[in-house]
Amino acid sequence: MPAPAAPSVLVVDDEENIAYLVSSALRLAGMRVTTAAGGDEALEAAARLHPDAVVLDVMLPDLDGFEVLRRLRAGGIHAPVLFLTARTDTADRVRGLTSGGDDYITKPFALEELVARVHVALRRAGTAAAPSARHRVHDLELDEDQHRVWRGETEVHLTATEFSLLRLLLVNAGRVVTRAQILDHVWQYDFAGETAIIESFVSTLRKKVDATGPKLVHTVRGVGYTVREPG
């Protein structure tokens, strides 16, 4: 039997870093993610993709999240919607939930909690998230279930932080991950260190995973880091 398709989630937020963190966390949890930065873009993406769930910011540059939800429902999109917002007033919470929203998450938030709430919403809607166990680029492979990494036939032994860093890079293979995004995702919001610590971890990670083959971990000067196919 073929494995069921991973559930799709539409993340709508005009703050680029928040959208990146949320989408990366959901991808790590085995979901397919599309992002939109505004209400109109979100409506177009939803009509085209019919996502299984929507993580929707309330304060958007064009339409607010409540209006986006109204139009989604009017357009026949009945996927669970989880509002993500800086508004903490009880009236806003009540409006979000009584207007057809399935959950209301306030900023700042823990990524683990957000992912858990998306899982709950998907289960309620009858869409179970398929686990994302393995990530591979060229001959570099990471297995989340076993918490192991190989470069070709050689196992690479990483610390827990190095493993989290490599997983973030592999999930976003081909895309540049900024230093700020790495700090937020690997060390979470409460980390008070400097980005220099990232350089140290990346240097050690590169020595381990690029020791037996062509270079896969690359520095994008002034921006961040990426893992990509050789050549």
Domain with CATH 1.10.10.10 in the chain: 134-227
Fold of 8-125: Rossmann fold (3.40.50)
Write out the CATH class of domain 134-227: mainly alpha
41-73 pLDDT, tens digit per residue, is 999 999 999 999 999 999 899 998 999 999 998
Burial 122-149 (b: 16+ CB within 10 A, else e): beeeebebeebeebebbebbbebeeeeb
| pLDDT one-digit tens code per residue, 123-177 | 887 765 545 568 889 999 998 878 899 999 899 999 888 998 999 899 888 889 8
Q: Within the chain, what is the greatest distance between any pair of CA atoms?
A: 58
Q: Where in the chain is the domain with CATH 3.40.50.2300?
A: 8-125
- 142 in Cβ contact with 209 (< 8 Å): no
